[in-house]
Amino acid sequence: MPDAAKKTKVKAEARVRTGVHFMLGDHACAEGALAAGLDFFGGYPITPSTEIAEHIAVRLPDVGGRFVQMEDELASMAAIIGASAAGARTLTATSGPGFSLMMENIGLAAMMELPCVVANVQRASPSTGLPTMVGQSDILQARWGSHGDYGIIAYCPDSPQECFDLTVRAFNAADQYRVPVFIMMDEVVGHMTERVVIPPADELPVFERKGPKFPPGEQIFYSYAPDEDLVPPIAHAGDGYKVHMTGLTHDERGYPALNAVAHDKLVNRLVDKIRLNAADIEMYEEIDTDDADTVVVSFGCTARSAIQAVKEARQEGIKCGMIRLITIWPFPETRIRELIEAGNVKRFIVPEVNLGQLRREVERLTHLPVLRLNHAGGAMPTPNEILELIRS
């Protein structure tokens, strides 16, 4: 076991700052990572995510982990995948322009099935955009940004508390499904200071990566022979199983298999291991949807405005409800279909700080009107703007 991992066990208490805090969203994400057992952080400074890196630079070495400020985001992503191959729980933090650079190796992580977590504190985009101002601009990029088909998980916290909670969850999900997991924060949530309750260490959920079922040397280890959940057990560098991992299409041994049949089988499994486990992964919160004819679909900072608008509309007697997406990927489409099929819903409203990225997902599921309320970035929809649309 590497020294860093030994220290992790010894200093479990030092990692988890149990108690009630008044905490920045970015710092809550960092604390969530530390509490979840972060071993290795590789990152590159970028507004508005930098506070995550800075906080981890202070905290991580003291609890036996390694912080490396890399030369760019290409290297950051590659480094956290490499550390993951050696058994580390790994994180990087970035924003839109850095997220774009990470796409190359996010594809590698998906293909090699090496768990890792990326916190993307979204700002107004495209390109350099508005570096210090809010955006929810990378919603589709998170799902489709790297070339080809693959499955990922993306959480969307709406508060510093969720920045902590969902970061812990992200590490567990990454290990459980062997995928890159994204924490799709935004500048508002990342730069907001609120009450954050950190539970005792022994109350935090922990998922250990599935390892080989036999000692090294006894049999040939197949790095990509999946269990029933479609997720293969993993052996790490130094464990003695002599794994080979490649971004090329590969067989269950991990060896290149450059043919269409192997490719179809592999890529389908990469997608299916998330698609078929979606019911266990998806998280959402519903308010007053039972009899609602107008349902607001919201996520991240925008949900904070939406909830206010929905409450006020109810007070005015409007049958209005809300579904807040906590996972945006996999998109909780089963639940939204259920709402549609129940027959009460007459229309959806999707407020977003982009020009309609998540609205496309809702439109895909229904012929009902899906009203838009968008800011391109730099400002978020206000409760009044959403309320006016609900009244219309």
Which stretches of the chain bind other proteins, using CB under 8 A? 2-4, 39-40, 42, 66, 68, 70-72, 74-76, 78-88, 90, 104-105, 107-108, 112, 216-220, 222, 225, 236-248, 252-253, 255-256
CB of 184 to other proteins, least distance (A): 23
Residue 140 CA to residue 125 CA, distance in Å, equals 13
Closer to other proteins at the Cβ: 221 or 331? 221
Taking the CA atoms of residue 298, residue 302, residue 308 and residue 313 in that order, the dihedral angle to the nearest 10 degrees is -50
Closer to other proteins at the Cβ: 90 or 120? 90
CB of 291 to other proteins, least distance (A): 51
- For residue 218, CA distances in Å to 44, 215, 239 come to 42, 6, 13
Closer to other proteins at the Cβ: 68 or 262? 68
Name residue, tokens 């066990």: 9
Closer to other proteins at the Cβ: 80 or 270? 80
Closer to other proteins at the Cβ: 146 or 289? 146
Residue 140 CA to residue 365 CA, distance in Å, equals 16
Closer to other proteins at the Cβ: 70 or 130? 70
Residue 174 CA to residue 388 CA, distance in Å, equals 40
Residue 166 CA to residue 159 CA, distance in Å, equals 10
Pairing of strands 19-24, 347-352: unpaired
Closer to other proteins at the Cβ: 57 or 108? 108
- For residue 4, CA distances in Å to 65, 171, 201 come to 5, 17, 19
CB of 96 to other proteins, least distance (A): 21
CB of 113 to other proteins, least distance (A): 12
Residues in CB range of 8: below 8 A, 6 or more apart: 15, 37, 39, 63, 64, 65
Closer to other proteins at the Cβ: 66 or 273? 66
Residues in CB range of 102: below 8 A, 6 or more apart: 73, 74, 76, 77, 92, 94, 118
Angle at which helix 50-59 crosses helix 25-35, to 10 degrees, equals 40
Contact at 8 Å (CB) between 65 and 41?
Answer: yes
Q: What is the DSSP letter of 250?
A: B
Closer to other proteins at the Cβ: 253 or 347? 253
Residue 187 CA to residue 195 CA, distance in Å, equals 17
CB of 3 to other proteins, least distance (A): 7
Element (H, E) at 373: strand 370-374
CB of 377 to other proteins, least distance (A): 30
Residue 155 CA to residue 190 CA, distance in Å, equals 14
CB of 251 to other proteins, least distance (A): 9
Closer to other proteins at the Cβ: 200 or 255? 255
CB of 317 to other proteins, least distance (A): 57
CB of 54 to other proteins, least distance (A): 18
Q: Among residues 392, 46, 72, which one has the least CA distance to residue 185?
A: 46
- For residue 148, CA distances in Å to 110, 155, 193, 247, 371 come to 10, 21, 38, 12, 31
CB of 92 to other proteins, least distance (A): 11
